[in-house]
């Protein structure tokens, strides 16, 4: 149990599951959005804001380099199973935004 507390970041994995899987899939299925509204609000606004927060969070906690990939990989898995094919490219965009958010913190 001590190993889990020391090596597993619940904000990282919980946020990745929440914003990478649950929010996009549930918004696609249950909210009365058109596809364009869903892409605009959920995939662009909500998830990009989460990526910016995640990059600063990873910098503040001196996370390992591989933690940058948690959210994009969880999103890519959900996109492959439940979402349209054009959403695959958002995983690369989320990785880039998270990396840029983390690296700009290092320069300040």
What confidence score (pLDDT) does residue 28 get? 87
* Residue 9 reports pLDDT greater than 90: no
Q: Quick check: 59 and 102 in contact, CB under 8 A? A: yes
What is the value of pTM for the model shown?
A: 0.88
Per residue in 10-42, pLDDT (tens digit) is 889 999 999 999 999 999 889 898 888 989 999
What confidence score (pLDDT) does residue 55 get? 93
Per residue in 49-88, pLDDT (tens digit) is 999 999 999 999 888 888 999 999 999 999 999 999 999 9
């Amino acid at each position: 149990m001590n190993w889990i507390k020391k090596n597993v970041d619940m904000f990282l994995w919980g946020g990745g599951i929440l914003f990478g899987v649950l929010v996009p899939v549930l918004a696609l299925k249950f909210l009365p959005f058109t596809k364009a509204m869903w892409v605009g609000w959920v995939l662009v606004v909500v998830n990009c804001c989460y990526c910016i927060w995640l990059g600063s969070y990873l910098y503040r906690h001196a996370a390992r380099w591989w933690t940058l990939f948690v959210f994009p990989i969880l999103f890519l898995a959900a996109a492959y199973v439940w979402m349209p094919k054009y959403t695959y490219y958002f995983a690369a965009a989320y990785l880039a935004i998270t990396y840029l958010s983390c690296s700009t913190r290092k320069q300040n």
